[in-house]
Amino acid sequence: MDAPITKVSIVVSKGSLEGVYPALIMANGARAEGMEANLFFTFFGLDAINAKRIEHVKVAAVGNPGMHVASLLGVLPGMSAIATRVMERKMEENDIPGLPEFIELVADAGCGLYGCRASADLFGFTEADLVPQVKAIITVGEFYALSAGGQIIFT
């Protein structure tokens, strides 16, 4: 039998709801299996741990073939908000937590949450702008160091 995976470090680079959830589900599932898990939020993925933006992460209505809505309609004002409401209602029906609760869940489960130094500098964020569950803003070198011995997954 192959050796089991005991540690994962997941990079979240997208700031849409559908960009963030798979990473959170994978991190939470890793902890539930007793694996070590880290989440590294970079570029627009930082929105998921930004205290002011966490409540406003939305489904992409444009450039998203999975939406099955013509991109021409997707550009209409409010389309992204509507798509997000539909998605959030479906997730609630399926007992999937909302983003702030999910971030709290993975942090309480012992998953390490980190912001990307280069992205934080680019957008002008400091740790004070991020939700309290974030352990630190770290460099890519520090990310590799804390990922040592595990698998890295980019989303």
Partner 1 sequence: MTTQTLAGVPVERDAEGFLTDPSLWSEAVAVAIAAEEGITLTERHWEVVRFMRHAYETTGAGPNVRLLAKASGVSVRELYALFPRGPAKTAAKIAGIPKPHGCI
**84 Cβ neighbours under 8 A, 6+ residues apart:** 17, 58, 59
For residue 29, state whether it binds partner 1 (rule: CB under 8 A): yes
For residue 108, state whether it binds partner 1 (rule: CB under 8 A): yes
For residue 95, state whether it binds partner 1 (rule: CB under 8 A): yes
For residue 93, state whether it binds partner 1 (rule: CB under 8 A): no
For residue 110, state whether it binds partner 1 (rule: CB under 8 A): yes
Residue 14 CA, chain-centre distance (Å), reads 7
CA–CA separation, 86 and 92 (whole Å): 10
- Contact indicator for 75, 67 with CB cutoff of 8 Å: no
Q: Residue holding tokens 């630190």? A: 136
For residue 13, state whether it binds partner 1 (rule: CB under 8 A): no
* Among 25, 76, 118, 145, interactor with partner 1 by CB under 8 A: 25
User: In one letter, which amino acid is 70?
Assistant: A
* Closest separation in Å from C-beta 1 to partner 1: 9
For residue 28, state whether it binds partner 1 (rule: CB under 8 A): yes
CA–CA separation, 113 and 154 (whole Å): 15
Taking the least distance from each CB to partner 1, the nearer of 101 and 121 is 101
Task: Please report, to the nearest 10 degrees, the dihedral formed by the alpha carbons of residues 131, 137, 142, 145 taken in order.
Answer: -10
For residue 31, state whether it binds partner 1 (rule: CB under 8 A): yes
* Among 5, 32, 75, 136, interactor with partner 1 by CB under 8 A: 32
The footprint of partner 1 (CB under 8 A) covers 25, 28-29, 31-34, 95-97, 105, 108-110
